[in-house]
Structure 1
Amino acid sequence: MLVSDFDFHLPEDLIAQQPPAERGASRMLVMDRATGSVRGSTFADLPSQLRAGDLLVLNDSRVIPARLYALRTLRREKEQPTGRIEVMLTEAAGDNRWHALVRPGRKVAIGEILVFPNAAGEIELKAEVLERGEFGDRLLQFEPVDDFYAALERIGHIPLPPYIHRDDAVADRERYQTVYSQERGSVAAPTAGLHFTPQILDALKASGVEIARVTLHVGLGTFAPLRVDRVDEVHLHQERYTLSAAAADAVNRAVLEGRRIVAVGTTVVRTLEHCAREAAGAPLQPHSGTTEIFISPGYQFLLVQGLLTNFHLPQSSLLMLVSAFAGRERVLAAYKHAVENRYRFFSYGDCMFIA
């Protein structure tokens, strides 16, 4: 199977550049995965699509202000900063180390010191370049500060995806987060969760739906183009996850009792399916780890039986995951229907419920 088998025509004007005026007001395409039939609805109707006893699993990762601007210093002993560059944090590497994409990065060498000033020109953060990789990737060692994430909040910008062609705004600090986000670490939002409001969550609980939370910190690899031609050559970046004791217990009980498990977003699918494969048929145990699981057509799902998801990029690993869940031809037909009916695509766009 080729990556190009997952291409589709998408008019540029259907890519949502702003969130809907009200959270939870998006359209929702409801798809029967067995037949491929689709019908239009709204996200506010989600409680009627779920059944009492369903287990709805959310990703509670919180997006950090990962887009920073730094000044270069060419040598450790040189104190006067030089040119301004963009630094996008992509993944924590422990001990004040972060992987980052640097732009323009061609001349940023190992051993350089990057300084990160605030609006007043005061240095908030300082980092040394330890390693240099492909496509602008660098490993940075930050000098310790009292509260690294507080510094990011002061000087960082929300890392809107590359297909949103505008600078981040103040409103994005709230709208590019789920209302249940808690664990800091993502550099991209788990976007299927952006539709939820506290009221809709309350309505789901009142209707007998059980809700559990896992954590998977989304990396920029979710937007990275696939640089191979064949699907079996795709390799994803690792992402960190945590399966809490409460989540493991909720999933185990749902499996034992034959209740449906519904994932909110592809990040939850990847977390649950990775954990199920690691457990090899045994009950899930609480733990943390990393996953690079790639799900494409032919994959046999072990836990997930329902999926709420946004509309994804052509030729993307996320579209392949959805196609594995509901069938490539059916999913592409549903996407064609969505284009013809002018659904809004990608992070700030509309959603699909597949069951």
Structure 2
Amino acid sequence: MHPKDLKIADYTYRLPQEKIAQYPLENRDASKLLIYKDNTIAESVFRSIPDQIPENSLMVFNNSKVIEARLIFKKQTGGKIEIFTLEPSGIYKDITEAMLQKESIVYKCLVGGASKWKHDEVLQLITPDNKVCLFAKKLEQLNDGYLIEFSWSQPALTFAEILHIAGNLPIPPYLQRSAEDGDTTRYQTVYAEKDGSVAAPTAGLHFTKEVLAALNLKQVATAYTTLHVGAGTFMPVKSEQMQDHIMHAEYIEITTALLDQLINYDFITAVGTTSTRTLESVYWMGVKAFLNPAISYNDLMILQWDPYNADYKEAAVSKKDALASLKSWMTENGLQHLIIKTQIIIAPGYEFRIINALVTNFHQPQSTLLLLVSALIGDSWRNVYEYALNNNFRFLSYGDSSILFKS
């Protein structure tokens, strides 16, 4: 069956509210770990995860950092307008460039209370210490948001610094609470580095410096890539069949050094669905570069259904050839870093080309993340989730973890 024909109603389960973790555990690596391998389920504690990873293998992490994407402006009349920053306008090359902008920027946003915001009205947000005054002007309404022009009173500060000073951390809406002081550190991974996500790559929240050191001691190599998580990660699938669902696109960043590591290791563990989407996208970009070495940057982007294209699949390009072709394309174009969007959807029927195992939390019913898990371990996802529900595992962003080995 082609993933387009899947019915999302077939990927649901009952998730009681009390199973959703409202807060993280005090110690990151004290969370429970479900282990699925060779059709069997076991459990342990997360700090023991190095015991599950093969020696001389590679583990890949997403080092994206969550930005303070929620901005609360007050109107002169006393009302509030909430602006949620989504992604930069197309006039900027990528999120990294946008985060470094000074004085002003144009950003695509969601706006709460937009009907109360007059088109020519400039909103102001003054930080409590009066350090910064941030201005917002509504430029254009889009199908899925607004283009907003931001400017600020301290032109020497970058937009990333402005958000850090004036914004609020966008913890998941299903937590049904406001961000608290503890979220500032716990909703970031210990290796977060590159500003740009509006949601944490939550599989990485369990890792500590001690766990990373234990992996190194076992000769498990580590590598970092970047996928800036967009608000689409919270969007449920509303269409009955997947062919009517439009997958959100997100920025990824890869390096030629990462490509070398992916070529040199046979067993690769992805930390999180975001790392998985990045690594599998890299393969398909490599296929495109293999088939057309002169391909343009725009055509290199992975669209939603590209991995299911018969021409690409029938080409039967090996992992090594695909990655080598992408590296050659980057070298020819003078790039050591490639920042590009991917819209890849990984659902049952997908054949994994890069990863062999996945570290991930437990996901919402009828979500594209659950589809990805099902693509990896087949119908056994039901047994895994039933076990987790019956054995006091905590679900979603601040919940417990699992390591799933490809069936």
Mark yes or no: TM-score above 0.5. yes
Aligned AA (2:59): L
Looking at structure 1, the residues matched to 370 and 385 of structure 2 have their Cα atoms a distance apart, in angstroms, of 10
In the other structure, the counterpart of 2:166 is: 155
Tell me the secondary structure at the aligned position of residue 163 of structure 1: helix
Q: For the residues of structure 1 that align with 2:107 and 2:247, how far apart are their CA atoms?
A: 18
- 2: CA distance, partners of 1:244 / 1:117: 39
**Map of 1:317 onto structure 2:** 368
Shifted more, 242-251 versus 140-149: the winner is 140-149
Map 1:47-58 to 2 at 5 A. Answer: 47-58=50-61
Structure-2 residue corresponding to 1:146? 156
Aligned position for 2:294: none
- For 1:325 and 1:156, locate their aligned partners in 2 and report how far apart those are by CA, in whole Å: 37
User: Residue deviations 1:18-71, cap 9 Å, x none?
Assistant: 001111110011012x52x21111111110000111110000000011111013
Show the counterpart of 2:274: 267
Q: Which residue among 88, 98, 102 is the counterpart of 2:111?
A: 102
Q: Does the CA-based 8 Å contact 1:212-1:246 persist in structure 2? A: no
Equivalent residue runs for 1:71-220 within 5 Å: 71-72=74-75, 83-93=79-89, 94=92, 96-108=105-117, 110-120=119-129, 124-134=133-143, 137-143=145-151, 145-147=155-157, 148-220=159-231
The secondary structure found in structure 2 opposite 1:325 is helix
TM-score (normalised: structure 1): 0.91
Correspondence for 2:264: 253
Distance 1:12 1:127, change over 3 A: same
Deviation for aligned residue 1:97 = 1.9
| Equivalent position of 1:338 in the other structure | 388
- Distance in 2 (alpha carbons) for counterparts of 1:114 and 1:241: 32
CA distance in 2, matches of 1:179, 1:43: 15
- What's the CA shift for 1:123? 5.3
Distance 2:398 2:255 in 1: 28
Say which SS state the counterpart of residue 210 (structure 2) adopts. Answer: helix
The range that moved more, 241-250 or 310-319, is 241-250
Secondary structure of 1:215's match? strand
For 2:353, which of 298, 302, 318 is the aligned residue?
A: 302
Contact 1:265/1:307 (8 A) holds in 2:
yes
**Aligned pair 1:21/2:26, yes or no?**
yes
Answer whether contact 2:272 2:360 (CA < 8 A) is retained: yes
Q: How far, CA to CA, are the matches of 2:344 and 2:86 in structure 1? A: 18
TM-score, normalization: structure 2? 0.80
Change (3 A) 1:191 1:105: same
Measure how far apart 1:340 and its partner are.
1.0
5+ long unaligned stretches in structure 2? 1-5, 93-97, 99-104, 288-316, 328-336
The 3-state SS of whatever aligns with 2:174 is: coil
Are 2:249 and 2:343, in contact at CA under 8 Å, matched by a contact in 1? yes
State the alpha-carbon separation in 1 of the partners of residues 124 and 257 from structure 2: 41
- Unaligned runs of at least 5 residues, structure 1: 73-79
Shift of 1:106: 3.4
Residue type at the aligned position of 1:31: Y
AA of the residue aligned to 2:149: Q
Q: Report deviation, 1:87.
A: 1.2
The one-letter code sitting in structure 2 at the alignment partner of 1:306 is A
Preserved contact between residue 296 and residue 321 of structure 1 (Cα < 8 Å): yes
Deviation for aligned residue 1:127: 2.1
Query: Deviations 1:251-274 (Å, cap 9, x if unpaired)?
Result: 1222xxxx2011000000101111
Cα distance in 2 for residues equivalent to 1:127 and 1:180: 32
Cα distance in 2 between the residues matched to 1:120 and 1:204: 43
Alpha-carbon offset, residue 113 of structure 1: 2.3
**Contact 2:80/2:113 (<8 A) preserved:** no
Question: Is the partner of 2:30 in helix, strand or coil?
Answer: coil
Q: Which moved more, 1:180-189 or 1:122-131?
A: 122-131
Deviates more, 1:272-281 or 1:227-236: 227-236
Give the alignment partner of residue 43 of structure 1, picking from 10, 33, 46: 46
Hey, what's the Cα distance between the residues in 2 that align with 1:267 and 1:81? Answer: 42
Counterpart CA distance in 2 for 1:132 and 1:58 is 36
Normalized per residue, the structure richer in helix is 2
Change in CA separation of 1:53 and 1:122 when aligned onto 2, cut-off 3 Å: closer
CA contact (8 A) 1:235 1:294 kept: no
* Secondary structure at 1:41 match in 2: strand
Assess, with a 3 A threshold, how the Cα gap between structure 1 residues 307 and 109 changes in structure 2: closer, same or farther. farther
Q: How many angstroms does 1:124 deviate by?
A: 2.3
Give the Cα–Cα distance (whole angstroms) in 1 for the partners of residues 143 and 339 of structure 2.
28
Whether the aligned pair in 2 keeps the contact of 1:58 and 1:212 (CA below 8 Å) is yes
Q: Partner residue of 2:403? A: 353
Q: CA deviation at 1:107?
A: 3.9
Structure 1 residue 222: Cα displacement: 0.1
1:173-220 Cα distance to aligned partner (Å, 9 max, x none): 110000000000101000000000001001101101010000010011
Contact 1:159 1:187 in 2 (8 A): yes
Name the Cα RMSD after superposition. 1.7
For the structure 1 residues 125 and 352, does the alpha-carbon distance in structure 2 shift closer, same or farther, using more than 3 Å as the test? same
Does the aligned pair in 1 maintain the 2:199–2:230 contact within 8 Å? yes
Q: Distance in 2 between matches of 1:110 and 1:130?
A: 8
- Over the matched positions of the two proteins, sequence identity in percent amounts to 38
Tell me which amino acid in the other structure corresponds to 1:217.
H
SS in 1 for 2:168: coil
In structure 2, the partner of 1:76 is: none
